[in-house]
Amino acid sequence: MTLTAKAAAGSAFAGWSGACSGTSTCTVTTNSTTSVTAKFTAKLKPCVVPKVKAKTLSAAKRALKAHSCRAGKIKHAFSSKVKKGRVISQKPKPGKHLKHGGKVNLVVSKGKKH
């Protein structure tokens, strides 16, 4: 008998256990009770980078999390145009598709240099 796993929308086939292993088709030859289990996992949503420029750092982190992203490196720089604590720039740019949990690097304003 040959078994083929087909994942439902929103999930992915993770592999076989029992009389089969791996992630390809499962072929079983048996004359007695044999157990095979197909394992599935939820598909992780990709990170679609949101626009976080001009947001506070905490608001930017919330927005990133809501889009399945996370903050990467956070640098601080002086700015005469952007208020202290707000995002000056981000990399990658908004709209970029990354894997689930993809990192977005941020530069946050220290305010005006005295």
Residues 26 and 53 grouped into a single domain: no
Domain of 78 in residue numbering reads as 47-109
Of the listed ranges 32-36, 40-44, 104-108, the one predicted with least confidence: 40-44
Residues 57 and 26 grouped into a single domain: no
Domain-embedded: residue 64: yes
Residues 51 and 100 grouped into a single domain: yes
Query: What would the pLDDT profile of 91-114 be if each residue is shown by its tens digit?
Result: 999 999 999 999 999 999 999 987
Q: With pLDDT > 90 as the criterion, what percentage of the chain qualifies? A: 69
Q: How many domains does the chain have?
A: 2
CA dist., res. 112 & res. 83, Å (int): 8
Please name which of 71, 64, 80, 63 lies closest in space to residue 107, comparing C-alpha atoms. 71
Residues 31 and 51 grouped into a single domain: no
Domain-embedded: residue 114: no
DSSP secondary structure, 58-114, as one string: HHHHHHHHHTTEEEEEEEEE--SSS-TTBEEEEESPTT-EE-TTEEEEEEEE-----
Q: Is residue 67 a contact partner of residue 92, using CB atoms and an 8 Å limit?
A: no
Domain-embedded: residue 98: yes
Q: With pLDDT > 70 as the criterion, what percentage of the chain qualifies? A: 100
Domain-embedded: residue 34: yes
Read off the CATH number of the domain in which 75 is found: 3.30.10.20
pTM, full prediction: 0.66
Please name which of 83, 37, 25 lies closest in space to residue 57, comparing C-alpha atoms. 83
Residues 26 and 57 grouped into a single domain: no
Residues 9 and 38 grouped into a single domain: yes
Asked if pLDDT for residue 10 goes beyond 80, the answer is: no
